[in-house]
Amino acid sequence: MSQLTEKLIRYRSFIGFLCLVAMLCLATPNARSIFAGFLLMMAGMFFRAWSSGHINKGMELATEGPYSLTRNPLYFGSLILGSGVAVACNHMIAYLIFVVYYFAFFTFLIAIERKRMHQRFGRQYEAWAKEANLFFPRIKKAKKSNFNIAFYMRNREYRVLFFSLFVIAVLIVKFLKKIEFFDTIGK
């Protein structure tokens, strides 16, 4: 892998954090955008949590539960979650920041991961790839689903929940300041 590729992979979370800060600074939330965004965020968090409880990273090929529907359920969940943040922010440039960040990084990461998985798991990966869509989940019943809380904890997916709740809290405070909620309480 090239040095540029390695750096992009290594710093994607930091760059994502900077994008999030920019989105929150630009945000002009209202009650509807916060509510709709929160629902999307919860759906994305659920899909990520469900996926995280099925993957023993680096050890075996996950093919059950959400992985029977899509080969990239964590990234799909991130799309839903990030869309929720953008909706809650309620600002066109915030939407644009999310779209550019997501598609610049995640399409690139999916391609790299696909190559790595094919090299590591060979025929098993090829058979699974025929059954599960690359990105958008197939509309069908998921295969046997043995959620493993140990995987969820080891993958530290709970951090996404806490961070998402923090983002919503920031947007609620920003909205309440906009409607002068805090000023009226002090009077």
Q: What is residue 31's predicted lDDT score, i.e. its pLDDT?
A: 96
**C-alpha dist (Å) from residue 80 to 13, 36, 144, 154:** 17, 12, 24, 23
d(C-alpha 11, C-alpha 59), whole Å: 24
Q: Fold for domain 27-186? A: Four Helix Bundle (Hemerythrin (Met), subunit A) (1.20.120)
User: In a 3-state reduction of DSSP, which class is residue 57?
Assistant: coil
- 65 touches 39 (CB < 8 A): no
> Does the predicted TM-score (pTM) go above 0.85?
yes
**Please, what is the angle between helix 92-131 and helix 73-89, to 10°?**
160
Average pLDDT over residues 160-186: 84
Domain borders along the chain are: 27-186
User: Cβ distance 48 to 84 under 8 Å?
Assistant: no
- Give the pLDDT of residue 112: 86
Percent with pLDDT over 90 in the chain = 71
